Chains A and B, each alone.
Chain A
């Protein structure tokens, strides 16, 4: 199911520095006040994005750290500072959260819009955890625009079970549910990009 890498990418001039695990002790360094509130809960259009992170035994991971990066509701990519000191009004498109003791995470955000007409809207997700030697990337697709999802190049290249791991579920109250399985049954599809080495 691996696509052939895009060969148009130029070779790197410098060898990249290797990643390492985030380890268990990031608690005073990376989380911060309102880190998971890309918008205030009271803002019209505010959406809860939540789920659990599990390991290869199906056990929840209590010490993962997640980050999301996404366009706004109109599909515009914002470039505004203030993610680390949230003023409650400025949408910066980026957020971070440590999962709780039962492996559950929550972001308060906006539904991302399509960045180009006809594209399936998605949120970028990065996963860090003790025991995970390098970060993992994936995409959280919104479930609604089935025509755009059907035309999406990444989703189209996956078998149905793998494809489903990348599409969030819309819950009755409007929340998005997206569970992350690092290994095994229902393993989330994780991504690599050109120019990584």
Chain B
């Protein structure tokens, strides 16, 4: 097992192989994942509602062992501040921040892509004028971060960070470089599927979320304990973008579509309920 959760971390050891981690095979992790998924499928067969979120208690992702609450989340009806969200606007984000390929003097190396879609709430309503933040590895699988010491090249023309404010229909669009998979230390020969991190806000702060967008057909999906922490296959599929030739532009960039659905807003029904009293 990785000792990452219990040992002090340093900034220069993240690619030093942990001897304990090297003894844990992909097969062992995959077996653990398969057992949890099989137990989940049985629950669904027995009538349990399909899960939509990752398990926070998911042992194959070793870093989660000491970092998940053991008690059930406590259900609460949202109160005033929880029914609103912070406001962001043009003051906060410049329009050019959505293009990750123009932040330096030269063109970044890699496959130029556009990722575009809409942010919706659980009722299908567009989330307009809200902040979307992304970050990602470069075309070699390397992050600009002091803790990422994976010996793949840094691209001096790519930081891998972008921001946008959604349009009136909840739409966003980022121009970037397709990220590569990269190794990590969960177990021996562990590799993350290529992904872009997304940070999202809704109309209620209870809709706040951070997630990861993946690319279709990644052969690493079945091996990855972070992706597979979502036990439900339909739910996992919601994190995978779709290749979209209508977003692809002639002699410039290939295009991917990814729509994001936040949880439901509580503003409407809570206010209606208050009005009934």
Contacts and interface: CB of A to CB of B under 8 A. Distances in A.
Contacts of B205: 69, 124, 126
B214 to A, nearest CB: 9
B85 A19 contact: no
A120 to B, nearest CB: 9
Contact of A55 (B67, B123, B124, B161): B67
Interface string B10-53: 00000000000000000000000000000000000000010111
B96 interface: no
Nearest to B82: A124
B95 interface: no
Contacts of A115: 79-81
A13 B264 CA distance: 9
Interface residues of B, dominant DSSP: loop
Contacts, number: 284
Interface in B135-172: 135, 137, 143-148, 159-161, 163
B53 A80 contact: no
Contacts of B75: 2-6, 191-194
B148 to A, nearest CB: 6
Interface in A8-66: 8-10, 12-30, 55-57, 59, 61-63
B28 to A, nearest CB: 19
A12 B80 contact: no
A17 B80 contact: no
A193 B92 contact: no
Given A9-B266, A30-B199, A191 B68 contact: no
Contacts of A130: 63, 67
B234 interface: yes
Contact of B64 (A15, A70, A112, A133): A133
Contacts of A137: 206, 208
Nearest to A58: B66
Contact of B9 (A57, A63, A189, A197): A63
A18 B230 contact: yes
Interface residues of B, number: 90
Given A25-B143, A128-B210, A129-B67, A82 B80 contact: no
B239 interface: yes
A57 B68 CA distance: 12
A16 B261 contact: yes
Given A69-B86, A84-B88, A115-B81, A18 B54 contact: yes
A183 B68 CA distance: 6
B238 to A, nearest CB: 5
A77 B80 contact: yes
Nearest to A29: B135
A20 B212 contact: yes
A192 B161 CA distance: 30
Contacts of B71: 1, 162, 187, 189-190
Interface in A142-196: 153-154, 157-158, 162, 182-184, 187-196
B92 A17 contact: no
A132 B67 contact: yes
A196 B264 contact: yes
B104 to A, nearest CB: 13
A188 B124 CA distance: 33
Contacts of A70: 81
A195 B92 contact: no
Interface of B: 4-6, 8-9, 49, 51-56, 58, 61, 63-82, 84-93, 120, 122-124, 131, 133-135, 137, 143-148, 159-161, 163, 197, 199, 205-206, 208-212, 226-227, 229-230, 234-236, 238-239, 260-266, 269, 273
10 contacts: A3-B75, A13-B122, A16-B261, A20-B212, A57-B5, A69-B205, A84-B93, A133-B56, A135-B210, A195-B264
Shortest beta-carbon contacts, A-B, top 6: A195-B264, A131-B63, A29-B135, A94-B86, A12-B122, A81-B89
